[in-house]
Structure 1
Amino acid sequence: MSPTPSAIIAVAAEWRVQPGQEETVRQLMLQAAAAVRQHEPGNLLYIGHQDPADATHFLFYEQYADQQALEAHRDSAHYQDIVVKQIVPLLTDRTITFYQLMS
Structure 2
Amino acid sequence: MEQKPVYVFAKWQVKEGELDTVLNLLTEVTQKSTAEEGNLFYNIHQSNTEPNTLILAEAYVDEAAVATHRASAHFQDVVIGKVVPLLAERKVILSTRLDLG
TM > 0.5: yes
Q: CA RMSD in A?
A: 1.2
**Greater helix content:** 1
Alignment of 1:77-88 (within 5 A): 77-88=73-84
- Partner of residue 17, structure 2: 20
Of 69-78 and 46-55, deviating more is 46-55
- Partner of residue 95, structure 1: 91
Alpha-carbon separation, structure 2, partners of 1:57 and 1:36: 20
Give the deviation of 1:26 after TM superposition: 0.8
- Partner of residue 35, structure 1: 32
Give the deviation of 1:96 after TM superposition: 0.5
Give the deviation of 1:84 after TM superposition: 0.3
> Deviating runs (4+, > 4 A) in structure 1?
none
* TM-score, normalisation: structure 2: 0.91
Alpha-carbon separation, structure 2, partners of 1:37 and 1:96: 18
Give ranges in structure 1 of 5+ residues lacking alignment: none
Give ranges in structure 2 of 5+ residues lacking alignment: none
Alpha-carbon separation, structure 2, partners of 1:41 and 1:101: 20
Identity fraction in percent? 33
* TM-score, normalisation: structure 1: 0.89
SS in 1 for 2:94: strand
Query: Aligned residue pairs: how many?
Result: 98
- Partner of residue 47, structure 1: 43
Alpha-carbon separation, structure 1, partners of 2:97 and 2:38: 15
SS in 2 for 1:20: coil
